[in-house]
Copies of this chain bind each other. A is one copy, B any other.
Amino acid sequence: MTRKSKRSGEFELIAKYFAPLAKGEPGALGLKDDAAYLKPRPGFDLVLTTDAIVEGVHFFPDDPPATVAQKALRVNLSDLAAKGAIARGYLLTLTLPSGIDEVWVAAFAKGLSADQAKFGVALFGGDTTATPGVTTISITALGEVPRGQMLTRGGAQAGDDVWVTGTIGDATLGLKLLKREGFDLAKSHRQLLITRYRVPEPRSKVGPALKGLAHACIDVSDGLMADLGHIAEVSNVGIEIAVHDVPLSAAAKAAIQRGVELGELLSGGDDYELAIAAPSSARSRLLALAVETGVPLTRVGRVVKGRGVTALAADGKPVRTRRMGYTHF
């Protein structure tokens, strides 16, 4: 208790499961040192983000360890994508209760390994520690953007279109299913929604291609309405959303037919899609980008003078739904 030093078991875990994840990155020094180095690319800025996920808060104790690892990494990669950055690597802090066995750690590392190949990132370094509490994974991810070109929440301008990638609301439905807030759905729909919650799909190809096209960008983690609210606040503008233009998966549409409210999907978090403000002059290039990347891009609203986010019904009138916590009327 209460020494910062490593116990021998931690050294072994690092050597056996995590050092192999650092192999592709010379700056990681095989995880045999206290620190890593990174040689910045000339003419590029580094983009830094950190996000933690906690057992019982952001994932379930019985979630597969590989998907826990991937969620931890991907929520960070999603932040980098929203900044227009190309991910380069990450540092990992893994805090484990004594009950965790090596099988769990092996599967966790395997999940990271698969994602490293998928997203082209390497492990730069990390720390493993014991806890009397619950499993907690903290990741710091690093990416690169050409100097001065990082996308931010600021910069949206009245007249801009508002776009979203993919479909909205799936993750919050997946969470409802895992919490057994039952609604009846076909098995394939259930599986899709749960996967969307457990293993988000960071838009790592779309984000970096938005530089020079988008005025502002954010990833949808707090919920579409809330995250558009963040753009509106920092950009000092208002945003109007045509709620019936918001793209939904077939599974989400089925859930709505089963009585789930649309507002719940618009305010639900964890989708990790991108919400984008871009001038109308970028429309054709954004649609071409959707084709190139295979990621749908849907125009869902516009930036206006004013403040806050207004949801508009098909008749153009503001709608008020329960749960749309961040909506401004």
Contact = CB atoms under 8 A, between A and B. Distances in A.
B125 A131 contact: no
A47 B29 CA distance: 12
Interface stretch (A33-41, A107-115, A245-253, A306-314): A33-41
Interface in A1-51: 1-6, 27, 29, 32-40, 42, 44-51
A262 interface: no
Is the contact region of chain A dominated by helix, strand, or loop, or is it mixed? mixed
A55 to B, nearest CB: 8
B127 A85 contact: no
Contact of A218 (B34, B48, B129, B178): B34
A50 B38 CA distance: 14
A163 interface: no
A221 B92 CA distance: 19
Nearest to A92: B50
A210 to B, nearest CB: 14
Interface stretch (A144-152, A184-192, A285-293, A295-303): A144-152
B50 A126 contact: yes
A152 B2 contact: no
A99 interface: no
Contacts of A91: 48-50, 140
6 closest Cβ contacts across the A-B interface? A133-B133, A5-B269, A40-B40, A35-B49, A138-B138, A140-B140
Interface of A: 1-6, 27, 29, 32-40, 42, 44-60, 75, 79-80, 82-83, 85, 91-93, 95, 97, 124-127, 129-134, 136, 138, 140, 142-143, 145, 147, 150, 152-154, 172, 175, 178-179, 218-219, 221-223, 226, 230, 234, 268-270
